[in-house]
């Protein structure tokens, strides 16, 4: 598995994209999960809230115990790498992205069961 960050200018906005790839099994193609960060989210935003999509409460607790990120923490590059790494160990196909929080400089972390 590999996490990579790419950015490019889209008009007047900067678009950041995270790619989470896995090595394909023999005879299969690799799976790619692209996560785009909105242009108005700072590169190292403060986590305002954490949301889950299609994730059981039991798995949510396990994820929160493992990712090491809580509301109020800075969503650094290392934190994003750790989140990706830990999600792979919790459940195959889990992805994450984030969007602008209600306050300037904050983000809502969104963890989903699948792409």
11-60 residue pLDDT tens: 444 444 444 444 444 444 333 344 445 556 667 899 999 999 999 999 99
Options 3.10.20.310, 3.40.50.300, 3.90.1200.10, 3.30.460.30; CATH for 2-112 is 3.10.20.310
pTM of the prediction? Answer: 0.65
**Adjacent-strand bridge partners of 53:** 112
First to last CA, the chain: 15
> Where in the chain are the domains?
2-112
The phi, psi pair for 20, rounded to 5°, reads: -115, 115
Cβ atoms of 35 and 97 within 8 Å: the answer is yes
């Amino acid at each position: 598995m590999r996490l990579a960050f790419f950015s490019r200018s889209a008009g007047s906005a900067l678009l950041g994209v995270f790619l989470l790839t896995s090595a394909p099994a023999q005879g299969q193609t690799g799976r790619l999960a692209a996560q785009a960060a909105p242009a108005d989210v700072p590169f190292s935003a403060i986590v305002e809230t954490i949301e889950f999509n299609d994730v059981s409460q039991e798995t949510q607790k396990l994820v929160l115990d493992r990712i090491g990120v809580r509301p109020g923490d800075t969503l650094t590059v290392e934190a994003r790498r750790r989140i990706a790494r830990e999600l792979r160990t919790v459940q195959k196909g889990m992805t994450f992205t984030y969007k602008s929080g209600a306050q300037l400089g904050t983000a809502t972390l969104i963890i989903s069961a699948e792409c």
